[in-house]
Amino acid sequence: MPAAPVLLVGVDLGLPDFDAELAELGLLAQTAGFDPVARITCKRSAPDAALFVGSGKAEEIRLLAQMHGAQEVLFDQALSPAQQRNLERLLELPVNDRTLLILGIFAQRARSHEGKLQVELARLNYLSTRLVRRWSHLERQGGGAGVRGGPGEKQIELDRRMIGEAIKRTKERLVKVKRHRTTQRRHRSRAQVFNISLIGYTNAGKSTLFNALVKARVYAADQLFATLDTTTRQLYLADIGVSVSLSDTVGFIRDLPHGLVEAFEATLQEAVDADLLLHVVDGAHPGFPEQIAQVQKVLREIGAQDVPQLLVFNKLDQMAPGQRPAEGVDSYDLDGRMVPRVFVSALESTGMAQLRAKIAEIVSAHGASPTHDVPHDN
């Protein structure tokens, strides 16, 4: 089935992280199964309350969409429900924003029961802020909520109640999953296992690094959000005779919808409870400082800002000769504190021995004792 053609729209509101090429939105669109056929950007001091863009620019978008045969319009910024409705009326095309695009990708990628529940909760929270006549065809097949209410209750109130009940049920299921994860972490804690979590901006190469370190077969691809479900394995550090617990987690991204951060609390808890965060950075990406800043922002949101970090600058194989470091290990100023940094290519296994040695040095300084049987997820 051919990918649906879409038009990408970005509005420069004067913020430092504006993506003038709409490169990330384009990659998100492709990951979700769309074909970006045209891109348009404009500058505004503030969003228009009714259309986000001005009426003249909206007309330009409509003509450009017609010219390229776009079947949908995707905005790089979050739209209010009213802006979305007004744009759809004017453009006579479906209009969606970055938030819904990310939700759609997460829905496609979730594999585990926990991952699916987390995506469902985020999607329901998003829908609850919209006028939800769309509910009937967005609700999951089967298991619909029984709706109470008098004959005079308006459709919108019925929809809202339906979503409210679905949110409540999904939250209850997630509580049970969270208890199970907490139990697993307690087991690891009782076994005095040193816990390491892999974190980083999406597509930095976390899963490829995870596979290279523990010889596992976690799905790794050059696309956004290839990994949603946390996987935990043993990593044996031969230098010091210690096994540690290593967890791969969901990637972060600029403007990650708050509902998703909230919904993935159980998964992100791995980062909060870790003894060390391996912060993986795409060292070949020109915007890596901004990507680091976005990861730090999410860490503050989930209360993991004080967990020690080891920066892993990945994709050494893709760096231009002038970008390559003189030393494979050095330090980096992260929010005013110097943290150790290692340069690697997880794909080509370059620098992996130095990375293992640095991890062993940190674990040894922590006083971890030799361990063998580490509980891990399947």
333-354 per-position pLDDT tens digit? 998 999 999 999 999 999 999 9
The predicted structure's pLDDT at residue 334: 93
pLDDT tops 80 at residue 9: yes
Question: Among residues 297, 275, 298, 295, which one has the least CA distance to residue 285?
Answer: 295
Q: What is the mean pLDDT of the chain?
A: 81
Q: pLDDT exceeding 70 applies to what percent of the chain? A: 79
CA distances to 18, 21, 23, 65, 237 from 39, rounded to whole Å, are: 14, 8, 10, 10, 48
The predicted structure's pLDDT at residue 329: 95
The predicted structure's pLDDT at residue 262: 65
pTM for this entry: 0.71
Identify the bridge partners of residue 248 per DSSP, sorted by sequence position: 198, 231
Q: Give the separation between CA 304 and CA 23, rounded to whole angstroms.
A: 29
Identify the bridge partners of residue 4 per DSSP, sorted by sequence position: 34
Beta-carbon neighbour count of residue 345 at 10 Å? Answer: 22
The predicted structure's pLDDT at residue 52: 96
Q: Residue 167 in 3-state DSSP?
A: helix
The predicted structure's pLDDT at residue 260: 67
pLDDT tops 50 at residue 146: no
Element (DSSP H or E) covering residue 195: strand 195-200
Task: Let me know if 295 is exposed, middle or buried by CB neighbors in 10 A (0-12, 13-18, 19+).
Answer: buried
Assign 148 a pLDDT band (cuts: 50, 70, 90).
Answer: very low
Write down the architecture of domain 192-366 according to CATH: 3-Layer(aba) Sandwich (3.40)
Q: Residue 206 in 3-state DSSP?
A: helix
192-366 and 4-102 share a CATH fold: yes
195 compared with 123, residue with greater pLDDT: 195
Q: Give the separation between CA 208 and CA 316, rounded to whole angstroms.
A: 13
Structure tokens that stand for 378 in this block: 């399947």
pLDDT tops 70 at residue 209: yes
Question: Among residues 357, 185, 212, which one has the least CA distance to residue 280?
Answer: 212
C-alpha 109, offset from chain centre: 11
Q: Give the separation between CA 343 and CA 209, rounded to whole angstroms.
A: 12
pLDDT digits (tens, 9 = 90+) for 43-97: 999 999 999 999 999 999 999 999 999 999 999 998 988 999 999 999 999 999 9
Any residues with CB less than 8 A from the CB of 190 and at least 6 apart, and which? none
Domain boundaries, the chain: 4-102, 110-173, 192-366
The predicted structure's pLDDT at residue 141: 36
Tell me which amino acid residue 41 is.
Answer: T
The predicted structure's pLDDT at residue 211: 86
Which CATH class name applies to 4-102?
alpha beta
pLDDT digits (tens, 9 = 90+) for 219-241: 545 555 545 456 778 888 988 89
pLDDT tops 50 at residue 374: no
Strand 337-343 relative to strand 329-334, pairing: antiparallel
The predicted structure's pLDDT at residue 361: 94
Find the mean pLDDT for residues 296-322: 91
The predicted structure's pLDDT at residue 217: 54
pLDDT tops 90 at residue 164: no
Contact 195, 274 (CB under 8 A): yes
Find the mean pLDDT for residues 288-301: 89
The predicted structure's pLDDT at residue 362: 94
Contact 73, 6 (CB under 8 A): yes
Any residues with CB less than 8 A from the CB of 157 and at least 6 apart, and which? 149
